[in-house]
Amino acid sequence: MISNLPMILQVKPQFLRLPQFPILRDSQARVSSSSIVRMSATGYSGISLENIAVKPPSHPTYDLKGVIKLALAEDAADRGDVTSMATIPSDMEVEAHFLAKEDGIVAGIALGEMVFREVDPSLKVDWFQKDGDFVRRGLKIGRVFGNAHNIVVAERVVLNFMQRMSGIATLTKAMADAAHPALILETRKTAPGLRLVDKWAVLIGGGRNHRMGLFDMVLIKDNHISSAGGIIHAIRSVDLYLQQRNLKMEVEVETRTLEEVNEVLQYASQTKTSLTRIMLDNMVVPLPNGDVDVSMLKEAVELINGRFETEASGNVTLETVHKIGGTGVTYISSGALTHSVKALDISLKIDTELALRVGRRTNRA
Active-site positions read 156, 189, 221, 254, 281
Nearest to 249 by CA among 215, 203, 282: 215
Name residue 181's amino acid: P
**DSSP letters of 196-258?**
HHHHHHHHHTT-B---SSSSSSEEE-HHHHHHHTSHHHHHHHHHHHHHHTT----EEEEE-SH
Measured N-to-C along each axis, helices 64-76 and 195-204 cross at an angle, to the nearest 10 degrees, of 110
d(CA 349, CA 236): 59
CB distance 127 to 144 below 8 Å: no
Q: Give the angle 75-77-80 at the CA atoms, nearest 5°.
A: 80
What is the β-pairing status of strands 251-255 and 277-281?
parallel
- Coil, strand or helix: which one is 117? helix
Taking only Cα atoms into account, the Rg of the chain, rounded to an integer number of angstroms, comes to 25
